[in-house]
Chains A and B, each alone.
Chain A
Amino acid sequence: MILTDIQIEAVRRFASPVRLEGLGPGLNVLAAPNETGKTTLLMALRAVLMLRHGSRAQAVKDLLPYGGGAPHIGLAFQWRDRACWLEKRFWNKSLARLDLGGERFDGEEAEEQLRTLLELDRNGRGEASGLWNALLVRQGESFAQPELAGAGHASVQACLEQTMQDATGVAAASALLGRVRERLGQLQTATGRPTGRFRQVQEDRDRAEQDLAALKARKVALEEDLGFLEQDRRMLREHESPERRQQEEETLHALRQTRERLRGLAVEEQALRATGQAVAQQAQAAAEEQAARRESAASLARLEHDLQTHGQDAAHLVQQAEAASARHARAQLATSQAVRAQQQARAVLHRVTRRLELARQAEALGHDRTVLARAQDAFAWIEQAQVDLASLKVDTAFMRRLAKATQAVEQARAIMQAQATMLVAQLQDGAAGRVTLNGQPCPSGRTLLAEAAELVVEGIGRFGIVPAIDRRDHAQKTLDDAQAAQSALLAEVGCASVAEAEALHDRRSTAEQHLAQAQATFAAILPGHPVEKAATTLATLRQNLAEAQAIHERAMAALQAESGAESGAGAQQPDLDNAQASRAEDEAAQRAEQARAQEQAAFTHATAAQAAAEKAGALCRQLEASCARIRQDLTARQTRESDPDLAARLAALLGQQATLEADLAAKVQLRESEPPLSVIESGIRRREEAQETMRATTTRLREDIRERETRVRMAEGDGLDEAIAEATRHLARVTSECEACARDRAALALLEQTLANAEKEQTERYLAPLVQAMQPAFSALFPGAKLEMNTRFGLSGLTRQRYEEVEHLSDGTREQIAVLVRLGFAELLHARGMPAVLVLDDALGFSDSTRMECLFDVLADAATRIQILLMTCRAEQFTPLGGRVLKLRQHKAVAAPG
């Protein structure tokens, strides 16, 4: 294919028709700035070749012009020396027309012809796909190697197979593989799980197995029912046998008779045993009576001996108790004496202590009196200071008022002086006296004249001076008022002048200091007592002091009276100090305590002796009582039955007991010759229970037989054997079918695997021509490099000094490789006699100048065989490439070239 003319109208930015001029075989370059329509031109080219005219796919919508209208594209090309024209209009007024030499095809027929011509696949979106997708390279696509699928893959395969001497058959294998996978897909999923018919027969087989198992279980149950039914019927017949019943009744009757005989023997034996026991008890009682009498006599003799011994011991203990009591009385007397001595010593100590206390009280009273005197002095000082203060009325407030009045006078006077006329006289020596002012010798120096004055200079004349004072009267009045107020204020305190007032104020300040000192003194003497209540405080102190004094005096009098009393009683005590008295009291206390301890010991001893004497007395009395009681008891026994009578009765009882025991032994021997009664009763019970059990069993058997018969009838009605046979048949069929499916799947899987392996192997074989086709271009760009292709016709890596995977190469290198791979595809098509076109939009932007030169050489060489259309916005960079220079021109309408 060689493109010769491209015309587009109403495609994106091109509302009106444009035409690409200059197209021809070999290298074609459209260099134009950005946004001049290069990409739109490529989109139009792809659309006219790949999109069906009736499509409403997004790819068609992307073609719609901005101003509305139906995209219209015309393409003139040469196909194997035939001039061809392809024209398509999309969207509303869709049309397709293909002129192949002299043949014309319209509509779908044109699409089918085009699809066949270009070996395109349909896909679902109205856009065909094939190898051409890899040859018309949009902006940005040139970085990646083309992904071939479907027809594109098949086209390359077809090209490669054609170039090989012996056919690889990969296409046929692919077709076959497709069929195999299709069939295999009917049996298993992509993950190998059964599906479709296979899965269905597997499920049928599982269900059939379950059904058969259930039926067989029912069969087993039925056979069990039949077995038990036979057994139950046999047992029932046996249970209901009259001979057996009669035999059992007779056995039971004989057993019952034996039981009655044994029971009679048992009653007689029991009576003999009871009589024998009664006689034995009587004999034992008589023997015990004899023994008791002998024991009582022995006890009496032993008690009498004990009584004599304990009577002697009791007398000795009474003597010891009396001696102990005497010792206790003496100890009590000594204790009372010691206690009295201790009381006296304690009284002495008490008096000495009180005397000391009274001395401390007297000392405290003296101190209180001193404090009171000092406080009274301080209070007198305060009163004097308060009197002085009351007489001095010039206080600080008054002084502030006076200062204010004085300030007013000074202010009024200053106003007057400020407006007064200043007279400066400087008299010469000897002139004094000759000059007078207001009749007075004129002073030398400065003189302020507030009033009109008259200066007389002797010999010279009289000068009148009138000061120019504004509102002089008012000023004067102000001064006068101020002075009057000041005078009135001074008169309040009886002062003639301010200085006198200040002197009085100083004196008042001194009086205030004196008062403060007196109050501080008072406060120091009586801390805690407010000065304001000093008089009251002093009165209270005086009263308290007088009361304390009276109490002290009364205590002293009482002590002296006690001392006098003791002196009068003769208990002359030396004057002891406190330590001596305390020591005497301690000694007296120790002596009293010793006396008490001795008394307690004596008391304890006396009490113990008394208790022992009493205990011995009580024992003697008890022994006496026991002896009396035994004597009384022996007398009573003898009275009831004398000893000889008792011995005779005991002998008779023993003889009777021996006779009874002999009779009992005979009875026991007779009973033991028979079967045990318990065994007979157990046998009777067992047979009675067996009869009862048999009746219950018979009932149960009848019910069981009824139930089983019912189940058997139901199974009969269901035709269980037939159902099992049918289920077995069904299972065999589905199992057979399942095995057939499994075998079919296994065979198909093996075939699929074998075919896939063969296809892969062959694909790898025929990649060699593709590598061969690409190698020159790659060698020019990457000298010495060996190519590694994969089965998807992509370049997986380069081996230069070492193997390098494409994905690890730089962006620029990968783009160059991608362009060369596409160029290789075009070369393949060319070799197959299908001249191809390679269109690159804005490619090779990342190539350096050296590589770019190489690429230009490669492209120029390829352009001698295939048509190449390069679109770029970098005209200067592609200028060295040469080739046809293309231009986009306005055009009248899309139409086949004349």
Chain B
Amino acid sequence: MKFLHTSDWQVGRTFSFVDDDTLGALQAERLEVIRRIGALARAQGAASVLVAGDVYEHETPTNRTLHQPMERMRQFPDVTWHLIPGNHDADTPEGVWARLAREGAVPENVRIHRKAEPVLIDEAQNAWLLPAILQRRHTLADLSAYMNDAPTPPGAVRIGLAHGSVVGFGNAEEGEHNPIAPDRAAQAGLDYLALGDWHGFCQIDARTIYAGTPETDRFGTGGAGGGEVIEISLPGHGAAPHIQRHRTGKYVWRKFENTMLTNAQDIAALESRLRGILPDNPGAVLAWLEVSGLLGVDELALYENTILRRLGGALACLRVSGAPQLSAMADDLDRLGCGGAVRVAAQTLLDQAQDGGEQADLAREALQRLFVFWQDTQGARP
């Protein structure tokens, strides 16, 4: 049998560092990717899509947000979507799943699993799904443990579906919540264990995989990449699964840590790297720069023009942490005159900046502004 594995759609997610337009585009794309997954399933001949939790970002989304993914899935009646709760949308008495059930808003081709018990999903293939159900945001028990003893007919294909952290893998703190045994597939005789919670693709073993979010939503994904959906082909019980990764995400998120700028060449190289992410579509790039370094007056102006203004307009989002500091030397100060009042003021600020202390940063910023104003006033002169 063939099916798709995805997770962590987190519909309704907001992003604090982007502007309103970009936010709207990102949110729209998180819905649009459902259509792409459905189309992929059709294209690959997969009858089922397993969604390993966190369909929703919030426990109480708006009505529109609640119904949007359901309606996207309804558009693919030939595909059966299997959904389980995640830590963001746990199956609480008044949670999203109870709400959807109460409102009768779940399409026929969507199966929401709220009980930890084997479910026949493909009679022809004798394929059984063993979902693990989170009933609260965090639990210290391994909800997949029941799979070990969950009865299925002999020769059945056993597919586990769970949301949580594989114990001993990755972040220790995250691993404390919603733990999953790393060898659960082996213990429970699973042919495949579809996991959710990590936002990037991550393969634990041959049968245990985090698919990651189909539309990248953070710079640090927990895993690798993100923006993918996994296609799994299972020839039968006990056979090794065949796995194929498909790119579904539109936006590319990149973080550039410890970017040190000391001269114009560094600035040019940085620009080149940023533009090289998606040379044909920089508008689908979200970049986060952690910038430091020392630049002269002219280089600082170059940095502001090239990186902040031009690239800031080109990319979907340019998030900048830190800033290159002004490295004003005597030559820079000389352009203010040899002994004039402006030169004296600049020297005073430079001294304060070099003395360190609480006022140093402020003095440096004041000095930068002084040069900017100076250039403006000089430019304004006939």
By a CB distance below 8 angstroms, the chain B residues around A403 are: none
Does B342 make an interface contact (CB < 8 A)?
Answer: yes
Prevailing SS type, chain B contact patch: helix
A-B contact pairs, 14 of them (CB 8 A): A167-B339, A169-B336, A169-B337, A169-B342, A180-B373, A716-B60, A716-B66, A721-B57, A729-B14, A729-B23, A750-B366, A751-B349, A751-B369, A757-B348
Bound-state CA distance A226–B339 (Å) is: 72
Bound-state CA distance A170–B336 (Å) is: 12
By a CB distance below 8 angstroms, the chain A residues around B99 are: 716
By a CB distance below 8 angstroms, the chain B residues around A484 are: none
Does A728 make an interface contact (CB < 8 A)?
Answer: yes
Question: With A712-B94, A722-B61 in contact, do A761 and B16 touch (Cβ < 8 Å)?
Answer: no
By a CB distance below 8 angstroms, the chain A residues around B373 are: 176, 179-180, 183, 751
Does A380 make an interface contact (CB < 8 A)?
Answer: no
Chain B residue at minimum C-beta to C-beta distance from A743: B365
Give min CB distance, B63 to chain A, whole Å.
6
Q: Contact check, B14 vs A222: say whether CB atoms are below 8 A apart.
A: no
Give min CB distance, A714 to chain B, whole Å.
10
Q: Contact check, B339 vs A229: say whether CB atoms are below 8 A apart.
A: no
Chain B residue at minimum C-beta to C-beta distance from A717: B63
Give min CB distance, B149 to chain A, whole Å.
29
Does A15 make an interface contact (CB < 8 A)?
Answer: no
When A and B form their complex, which 5 residue pairs have the shortest distance between CB atoms, in order from nearest? A169-B340, A719-B62, A721-B58, A173-B341, A747-B365
By a CB distance below 8 angstroms, the chain A residues around B341 are: 168-170, 172-173, 755, 758-759, 761-763
Does A754 make an interface contact (CB < 8 A)?
Answer: yes
Does A383 make an interface contact (CB < 8 A)?
Answer: no
Listed residue (A230, A709, A721, A759) with the most chain B CB atoms within 10 angstroms of its CB: A721
By a CB distance below 8 angstroms, the chain A residues around B342 are: 169, 172-173, 176, 755, 758
By a CB distance below 8 angstroms, the chain A residues around B345 are: 173, 751, 754-755, 757-759
Bound-state CA distance A748–B372 (Å) is: 12
Does B250 make an interface contact (CB < 8 A)?
Answer: no
By a CB distance below 8 angstroms, the chain A residues around B382 are: none
Task: Give A contacts to B, CB under 8 Å.
Answer: 166-170, 172-173, 175-176, 179-180, 183, 222, 226, 229-230, 233, 709, 712, 715-723, 725-726, 728-729, 732-733, 743, 746-748, 750-751, 754-755, 757-759, 761-763
Q: Contact check, B16 vs A729: say whether CB atoms are below 8 A apart.
A: yes
Question: With A716-B99, A717-B62, A750-B349 in contact, do A179 and B340 touch (Cβ < 8 Å)?
Answer: no
Q: Contact check, A758 vs B60: say whether CB atoms are below 8 A apart.
A: no
Q: Contact check, B92 vs A169: say whether CB atoms are below 8 A apart.
A: no
Within 8 A of A (CB), among B43-67: 57-66
By a CB distance below 8 angstroms, the chain A residues around B57 are: 721-722, 725
Bound-state CA distance A712–B340 (Å) is: 70
By a CB distance below 8 angstroms, the chain A residues around B349 are: 750-751, 754
Q: Contact check, B376 vs A726: say whether CB atoms are below 8 A apart.
A: no
For the A-B complex, the count of residue pairs with Cβ-Cβ distances under 8 Å equals 144
Give min CB distance, B338 to chain A, whole Å.
6
Q: Contact check, B339 vs A719: say whether CB atoms are below 8 A apart.
A: no
By a CB distance below 8 angstroms, the chain A residues around B338 are: 166-167
Bound-state CA distance A179–B378 (Å) is: 12
Contact residue among A170, A172, A758 (Cβ-Cβ distance under 8 Å from B348): A758
Does B256 make an interface contact (CB < 8 A)?
Answer: no
Give min CB distance, A221 to chain B, whole Å.
12
By a CB distance below 8 angstroms, the chain B residues around A733 are: 16
Question: With A729-B14, A729-B15, A759-B341 in contact, do A226 and B62 touch (Cβ < 8 Å)?
Answer: no
Chain B residue at minimum C-beta to C-beta distance from A219: B60
Does B357 make an interface contact (CB < 8 A)?
Answer: no
Question: With A179-B376, A750-B366 in contact, do A167 and B337 touch (Cβ < 8 Å)?
Answer: yes
Does B153 make an interface contact (CB < 8 A)?
Answer: no
Does B169 make an interface contact (CB < 8 A)?
Answer: no
Does B377 make an interface contact (CB < 8 A)?
Answer: yes
> C-beta contact mask, B340-382 vs A, less than 8 Å → 1, else 0?
1111110011000000000100110111111001101100000
Bound-state CA distance A650–B60 (Å) is: 95
Q: Contact check, A168 vs B93: say whether CB atoms are below 8 A apart.
A: no
Task: Give B contacts to A, CB under 8 Å.
Answer: 12-16, 23, 57-66, 92-94, 99, 336-345, 348-349, 359, 362-363, 365-370, 373-374, 376-377
Give min CB distance, B360 to chain A, whole Å.
11
Q: Contact check, B58 vs A719: say whether CB atoms are below 8 A apart.
A: yes
Bound-state CA distance A723–B60 (Å) is: 9
Question: With A169-B339, A715-B60 in contact, do A728 and B16 touch (Cβ < 8 Å)?
Answer: yes
Bound-state CA distance A180–B373 (Å) is: 8
Give min CB distance, A477 to chain B, whole Å.
146
Bound-state CA distance A715–B99 (Å) is: 12
By a CB distance below 8 angstroms, the chain B residues around A172 are: 337, 340-342, 377
Give min CB distance, B68 to chain A, whole Å.
12
Q: Contact check, B339 vs A166: say whether CB atoms are below 8 A apart.
A: yes
Give min CB distance, A483 to chain B, whole Å.
147
Give min CB distance, A690 to chain B, whole Å.
28
By a CB distance below 8 angstroms, the chain A residues around B14 are: 722, 725-726, 728-729
Listed residue (A233, A732, A747, A748) with the most chain B CB atoms within 10 angstroms of its CB: A747
Chain A residue at minimum C-beta to C-beta distance from B337: A169
Q: Contact check, B340 vs A168: say whether CB atoms are below 8 A apart.
A: yes
By a CB distance below 8 angstroms, the chain B residues around A728 are: 14, 16
By a CB distance below 8 angstroms, the chain A residues around B92 are: 226
Bound-state CA distance A233–B345 (Å) is: 73
By a CB distance below 8 angstroms, the chain B residues around A183 are: 373
Chain A residue at minimum C-beta to C-beta distance from B348: A754
Q: Contact check, B370 vs A176: say whether CB atoms are below 8 A apart.
A: yes
By a CB distance below 8 angstroms, the chain A residues around B376 are: 179
Bound-state CA distance A230–B370 (Å) is: 63
Bound-state CA distance A553–B226 (Å) is: 168
Q: A722-B58, A732-B16, A747-B368 are in contact. List 15 more A-B contacts (CB 8 A).
A: A169-B339, A169-B340, A169-B342, A172-B377, A176-B374, A179-B376, A183-B373, A229-B94, A716-B66, A721-B59, A725-B13, A729-B23, A750-B366, A751-B369, A754-B349
By a CB distance below 8 angstroms, the chain A residues around B365 are: 743, 747
Contact residue among A716, A720, A762 (Cβ-Cβ distance under 8 Å from B340): A762
Chain B residue at minimum C-beta to C-beta distance from A730: B16
Question: With A168-B341, A169-B340, A755-B341 in contact, do A719 and B63 touch (Cβ < 8 Å)?
Answer: yes
Q: Contact check, A751 vs B370: say whether CB atoms are below 8 A apart.
A: yes
Contact residue among A168, A718, A747 (Cβ-Cβ distance under 8 Å from B366): A747
Bound-state CA distance A717–B374 (Å) is: 56
By a CB distance below 8 angstroms, the chain A residues around B65 are: 719, 722
Listed residue (A712, A728, A762) with the most chain B CB atoms within 10 angstroms of its CB: A762
Bound-state CA distance A721–B56 (Å) is: 11
Chain A residue at minimum C-beta to C-beta distance from B11: A722
Q: Contact check, A722 vs B60: say whether CB atoms are below 8 A apart.
A: yes
Give min CB distance, A402 to chain B, whole Å.
140
Question: With A729-B14, A748-B366, A758-B344 in contact, do A168 and B377 touch (Cβ < 8 Å)?
Answer: no
Bound-state CA distance A720–B15 (Å) is: 17
Bound-state CA distance A173–B339 (Å) is: 12
Q: Contact check, B369 vs A721: say whether CB atoms are below 8 A apart.
A: no
Q: Contact check, A747 vs B344: say whether CB atoms are below 8 A apart.
A: no
Bound-state CA distance A609–B208 (Å) is: 140
Give min CB distance, B51 to chain A, whole Å.
20
Contact residue among B64, B66, B377 (Cβ-Cβ distance under 8 Å from A176): B377
Q: Contact check, A230 vs B93: say whether CB atoms are below 8 A apart.
A: yes
Q: Contact check, A722 vs B343: say whether CB atoms are below 8 A apart.
A: no
Contact residue among A168, A180, A750 (Cβ-Cβ distance under 8 Å from B362): A750
By a CB distance below 8 angstroms, the chain A residues around B12 are: 719, 721-722, 725
Listed residue (A709, A722, A759, A761) with the most chain B CB atoms within 10 angstroms of its CB: A722
Q: Contact check, A170 vs B340: say whether CB atoms are below 8 A apart.
A: yes
By a CB distance below 8 angstroms, the chain B residues around A758 are: 341-342, 344-345, 348
Chain B residue at minimum C-beta to C-beta distance from A719: B62
Chain B residue at minimum C-beta to C-beta distance from A725: B14
Bound-state CA distance A423–B14 (Å) is: 172
Bound-state CA distance A180–B342 (Å) is: 12
Bound-state CA distance A222–B59 (Å) is: 11
By a CB distance below 8 angstroms, the chain A residues around B60 are: 222, 715-716, 718-722
